[in-house]
Structure 1
Amino acid sequence: MFAGLDWGESHHQLCLVHKAGHVVHQGRYTHTADGLERLDRHLHRHAPLMGIAIERGEGLLVERLQAADHTLYCVSPKVSARARERYRMAPKKDDAFDAFVLADSLCHEFRHWRPLPVASPQLAELRAVIRDRERVVWNQRDLENQLRAILQSYHPAVLHLFLFPGPGHQPAIPERLPHARAGPSGGARADEGVHRPSRVFRTHPI
């Protein structure tokens, strides 16, 4: 029995193909604790498997499958794209069809493919830390972009006050912000150059 797993962020499509070439199972499993447990039970029900073809070489799903003693074959997206052309020329995205192509290609060519090596516990832990750090960096970048877009729309002068150098950089915040009112010397207001919309809410119909 050969398996093809079309990986996705929210769900995974599993296809099991007999060595004779006919499809034994097609299933969709969510990327949740319950969904992955269902996937484990279904794979165990059809064990032993000759291998599982997947387009990812790392991640929680890969580590979970390898921990269950499954042999994984990492297929390059370019290889899987060329393999799809042997079955169908239409470029339409179909998870079930993609999973079948992975399983059927593994059935015919697994002798020429190299299994994905199992990472050591230290390497698996390091990869988990790297994934967490990347997630934090992505969230920080998204928040910076949202804040920059809001300031450019309503208060563009604040961008120069806080010295935003660009996406992905930490803004240099002054140690002490100038007071909004005029100082004792009667000088100009510190926020004089800050743009303010003349009217935020309209009180009359357009």
Structure 2
Amino acid sequence: MIYCGIDWAEKTHDVALVDDSGQLVAKRHITDDAAGYKILLDLLAEYGDSEDEPIPVAIETSRGLLVAVLRQGKRQVFAINPMAAAQHVGDPAFVGSAGFLTQAFFDYRDRHSVSRKKSDPGDALVLANILRTDMAMHRPLPDDSDLARAIAVLARAQQDATWNRQQMANQLRSLLREYYPAALDAFATWTNGLCRPEARELLKLAPTPARAARLTRTQISAALKRAGRKRGIDADTERLREALRVDWARQLPLVEEALGKQMLALLGQLEASCAAADDLAKAVGEAFPQHPDAEILLSFPGLGVQLGARVLAEIGDDHTRFADARGLKAYAGSSPITRASGKKSSITRRRVKNDRLNHAGYLWDFAALTASPGAKDHYRRRRDKHGDWHASALRSLFNRMVGQMYHCLQHGERYDETLAFPLPLEVAGSAAA
């Protein structure tokens, strides 16, 4: 059997092929273009690569055009990133079959070189030997459908845009606190605060306290209407006019004007972040319902279109990816991990996990507390009887919901509250009586 390793770079790649004995049988230096990809595919075909028996490939990334070319057909592609392994990053492509990160890439390199110097051809050889010796310990890239991969791109981009929007809002809030606290006080009653279009319109109209004090009712009302407000305009106009005229400490006039210009620059970045998040959310809303698993995921309490798309993006639609629910729970970081050494043992939360899925799970279970009586009872029982903190109780609920989700996806069933959270025996007995 032949194994292929590719040391990925921005412009060129080094390729190494080894046989069962670890002997180097071929090596190439290819460019990152169509001509280079053809050379690679021809090289693989020369050494027995076919549709029925493709040569497995180990590469240092899970994305890009080269990976897309390699994933065509039935070929197994293993993404083994040395920095991810060394830094314990919970990326889905770098988690082992048991839910743990693969062995550090540098340990493999030291087997073949004592100098500890990096060599691209040598790293390609090491990657090929990783598959030869430990392929069973690594997880290939999942065989997801094209629609699932497209949803993953959109859902992750929307999640990143949401985080960027919040980061920009935090920077803007920090700046306003330095010279314009009246604006923060005026927008405090609104959900999402500075991310609201009304707040952004008013800040563009009055970037400094001096200009805010001169705003008329007509100007404030017009700003609210430009932001899309339909109701409650008169009441908010009066409240905002009074809040913006409250006497606060002020910066020197020239300094205040300079800070106002800095604020407008940050405001432009925030508006771009808000527009990107909204546009991507719309794209996710159009793509996600088309997937066959969407109906099952949306049947779970607390899972809407955006969160459901994020969950699908991380677990994919390859239902053979996880051998059982335990593997998915470990991947999501919801199940605890037990470490034992001699007479000592400890049970702790998982730090090596898919961070995106874990974050989506936290939001999911927080929403499920109000949408599912069974989820709320489970949470209260963990808090009251087991003494869990809030985060631990939510993690326990997430662990249970992940197991239910695995079952539903495997059997094509919708969520059923009575099966997911059956009544305790004593409660069921009293109800029957």
> Normalization by structure 1: what TM-score?
0.60
> Which structure dedicates a bigger proportion of its chain to helix?
2
| Aligned residue runs from structure 1 range 1-206, under 5 A | 1-48=2-49, 49-77=54-82, 78=85, 79-126=104-151, 161=261, 163=263, 164-165=265-266
CA distance in 2, matches of 1:70, 1:31: 20
CA distance in 1, matches of 2:154, 2:65: 12
Secondary structure of 2:116's counterpart equals: coil
Shift of 1:2: 0.6
Stretches of structure 1 lacking an aligned partner (at least 5 in a row): 135-156, 172-206
Q: Is the 8 A contact 2:16 2:125 kept in 1?
A: yes
Secondary structure of 2:124's counterpart equals: helix
The change in CA–CA distance for 1:29 and 1:86 in structure 2 (over 3 A counts) is same
> Which structure dedicates a bigger proportion of its chain to strand?
1
Q: Which amino acid aligns with 1:57?
A: S
The change in CA–CA distance for 1:69 and 1:159 in structure 2 (over 3 A counts) is farther
The change in CA–CA distance for 1:159 and 1:64 in structure 2 (over 3 A counts) is farther
CA distance in 2, matches of 1:108, 1:15: 15
The change in CA–CA distance for 1:67 and 1:81 in structure 2 (over 3 A counts) is same
The change in CA–CA distance for 1:130 and 1:21 in structure 2 (over 3 A counts) is same
Q: Deviations over 1:23-59 (max 9, x none)?
A: 0111111111111122122112222354111122233
Q: Which amino acid aligns with 1:29?
A: I
Secondary structure of 2:58's counterpart equals: strand
Shift of 1:84: 0.7
Q: Is the 8 A contact 2:44 2:55 kept in 1?
A: no
Q: Which amino acid aligns with 1:165?
A: L
Secondary structure of 1:56's counterpart equals: coil
Secondary structure of 1:63's counterpart equals: helix
CA distance in 2, matches of 1:61, 1:118: 16
Q: Deviations over 1:158-200 (max 9, x none)?
A: 896464339x6569xxxxxxxxxxxxxxxxxxxxxxxxxxxxx
Identity of matched residues, %: 28
Larger RCO (alpha carbons 8 Å, 6+ apart): 1
Secondary structure of 2:112's counterpart equals: coil
Secondary structure of 2:63's counterpart equals: coil
CA distance in 2, matches of 1:63, 1:115: 14
Secondary structure of 1:86's counterpart equals: helix
CA distance in 1, matches of 2:10, 2:148: 23
The change in CA–CA distance for 1:128 and 1:32 in structure 2 (over 3 A counts) is farther
The change in CA–CA distance for 1:170 and 1:91 in structure 2 (over 3 A counts) is farther
Secondary structure of 1:8's counterpart equals: coil
The change in CA–CA distance for 1:44 and 1:50 in structure 2 (over 3 A counts) is closer
Q: Is the 8 A contact 2:58 2:127 kept in 1?
A: yes
Aligned to 1:199: none
CA distance in 2, matches of 1:66, 1:5: 14
The change in CA–CA distance for 1:41 and 1:126 in structure 2 (over 3 A counts) is farther
Q: What is the number of residues matched between the two proteins?
A: 150
Q: Which amino acid aligns with 2:61?
A: R
CA distance in 1, matches of 2:157, 2:45: 30
Q: CA RMSD in A?
A: 3.1
Q: Which amino acid aligns with 1:75?
A: I
Secondary structure of 2:14's counterpart equals: strand
Shift of 1:132: 9.3
Secondary structure of 2:266's counterpart equals: coil
